[in-house]
Chain A
Amino acid sequence: MNQFQYLRPTKPKAAIDALARDTNAQFIAGGTNLLDLMKRGVMAPQKLVDINKLPLDKIEKQNDSLRIGALALNSTVAEDKLVLERHPLLAQALNAGASAQLRNMATVGGNMLQRTRCHYFYDTALPCNKREPGSGCGALEGFNRMHAIFGFSDKCIAVHPSDMSVALVALDAAVLVSGPKGDRRIAFADFHRLPGDTPQKDTNLEQGELITAVEVPDSPFTKNVHYLKVRERASYAFALVSVAAALSLDGQTIKDARLAMGGVAHKPWRLSEAEKSLIGKPATEATFRQAADIAMRGAKAFKYNEYKLKLAPNAIVQALKNAASVA
């Protein structure tokens, strides 16, 4: 690991100032991804700003939402009574991610900022436009089993690895940030970005901006929810495809629905059109299959990830069946 300057401020303003003045500085919270990347030489910040002393770990009920501090641990959020009661989909997604040890370290803010696990990004001997802009995308014509089927560009076909983020985008969450220019609120769907010509940018955060909290609005999605994660072993692996499904049912009729996928794009992939197609319909496999067909419009596979074109719609149907308790 390269050497770096280490700072441990106790006030958010000091943390933001420390980063705003230095483009080669990084915040560190759990460190579970950043230190991994630093050991491999993928990232080499000259300054680390340890934000663990900032008072940003509370989970609080607000008027019409739940506010989860950026430094709340993944394990704490997944077991929090308010979260389980109001947003069980988020708890399920969190528990599907990483291992018990990592969930005890990783924070909410860090989870959404984790980098792709694309092998070409991780291997500094190979080309990657995300790691080294202009060097090319090794995955495009390479080993692309894990890669995107939606929203990619010819510069990058990597996927975002977070499970938590798939649930948060489905639940219409918002990200609260503080920065050198003040505070702002970013809709979760606009937080991560597609690669386009600048895949080195994962999110729309600006230099020096610090995530302070996530707000999840109250919703009727407290019961019929399911996070389905399909991976190569039963636990502790990144998703090939994952689906966050949430239904609000009136008897067997779908009143409202939320649907998002992970492992298929550079950002958590919300399926708004498919959601609309579910509303007013009976909660049956036929309805779910139709929604899955709509969800898959525009999907395109590469040499080694064609299986995702079948796996993804089947996972959507299964997640919706599980959410609705349809056998």
Chain B
Amino acid sequence: MDNEMPPQPAAEGCGHNETRRNFLKQSSLLTALALAPGPILKAAEAELDETVAAAFEKVPLKLDVNGKKYKLSVEPRTTLLDLLREQLHLTGTKKGCDYGQCGACTVHVDGKRVNSCLTLAVMQDGKKVTTIEGLADGDKLHPMQEAFLKHDGFQCGYCTPGQIMSAVACIREGHADSEGEIKEYMSGNICRCGAYPNIVAAIQEVKSGGQKV
């Protein structure tokens, strides 16, 4: 299914964004003058056969998120996490520390678990992203979601989407063979409520259940 998001309108003519845009234009003027010939021309000269964007330009981005295809337009400094939450409104993925220390933002990119706060959305062009919203099969919860419920693998729940995405990857990678191994390979996900024993129990149950994750 091609769920095409319209490119974000350039911010001209919309409230405070306009002011910001104008400020950026003005502050970029010096750079622009210094850059003549413009960045695109300069890029051609340097054989930059791919994407080039000035600081204030948005970059086109194609992304598959939970099986939906998006054509987007993003500012280069947007992290994958902010894109998911702010532009795609997939707020299941949480922003905890925003510095790659807590794991609350864990998603899968091309099947690998990553911290979505420490990567730029534009760096994921053409890739397949799975978030917590994409884990269940319709109304049927993923076995790991079931196991977290059964074992009470959370209290406040803020770290849970990241824990579950990480836990699924942990089993897929083959790093869930013992309690010790699970603890080591889940160490990138912090739970301030301290639900760790229950999280480990949930992962062990899914692992020993032998279901396809």
Contact = CB atoms under 8 A, between A and B. Distances in A.
Interface stretch (B117-125, B139-147, B197-205): B117-125
Nearest to A20: B46
Contacts of B79: 35
Interface in A42-90: 46, 48, 50, 52-53, 75
A53 B166 CA distance: 26
B48 A7 contact: yes
Contact of A8 (B51, B54, B187): B51
A235 interface: yes
Interface in B172-200: 173, 175, 183-189
A237 B194 CA distance: 18
A28 interface: yes
B49 A48 contact: no
Contact of A101 (B75, B99, B188): B188
Max chain B CB contacts within 10 Å: which of A11, A50, A100, A236?
A: A100
Q: Which of A6, A18, A31, A102 has the most CB of B within 10 A?
A: A6
B47 A13 contact: yes
Nearest to B106: A101
B90 to A, nearest CB: 18
Contact of A39 (B54, B98, B188): B98
Nearest to A73: B112
If over half of A's interface residues share one DSSP class (helix, strand or loop), that class is named, otherwise mixed; here it is loop
Given A100-B170, A105-B114, A235-B183, A7 B122 contact: no
B119 A48 contact: no
B49 A10 contact: yes
A30 B119 CA distance: 7
A98 B55 contact: no
A7 B43 contact: yes
B77 A3 contact: yes
B192 to A, nearest CB: 14
A interface, size bucket: 35 or more
B115 interface: yes
Nearest to B110: A104
Contacts of A235: 183-184, 187
A1 B50 contact: no
A234 B100 contact: no
Contacts of A6: 51-53, 55, 59, 76, 120, 122
A208 to B, nearest CB: 12
B112 A104 contact: yes
Contacts of B123: 28, 31, 50, 52
B140 to A, nearest CB: 27
A9 interface: yes
Contacts of A3: 24, 55-56, 75-77
A126 interface: no
B104 to A, nearest CB: 11
A154 interface: no
A3 B78 CA distance: 10
B169 interface: yes
Contact of A18 (B48, B185, B187, B188): B48
Given A8-B50, A31-B119, A104-B114, 7 more contacts: A1-B77, A3-B75, A5-B76, A18-B46, A46-B31, A46-B55, A102-B115
Interface of B: 24, 31, 39, 43, 46-56, 59, 75-77, 79, 98-100, 103, 106, 112-115, 118-120, 122-123, 125, 166, 169-170, 173, 175, 183-189
28 contacts: A1-B77, A3-B55, A3-B77, A4-B77, A5-B53, A6-B51, A7-B51, A7-B53, A8-B52, A11-B49, A13-B47, A18-B46, A18-B48, A30-B118, A32-B115, A32-B118, A39-B99, A40-B99, A50-B122, A99-B187, A100-B166, A100-B185, A104-B112, A105-B118, A234-B184, A234-B187, A235-B183, A235-B184
Interface of A: 1-11, 13-14, 17-18, 21, 28, 30-32, 35-36, 39-40, 46, 48, 50, 52-53, 75, 98-102, 104-105, 234-236
The 7 closest A-B pairs by CB, nearest first: A99-B188, A235-B187, A6-B76, A236-B187, A3-B55, A8-B51, A17-B46
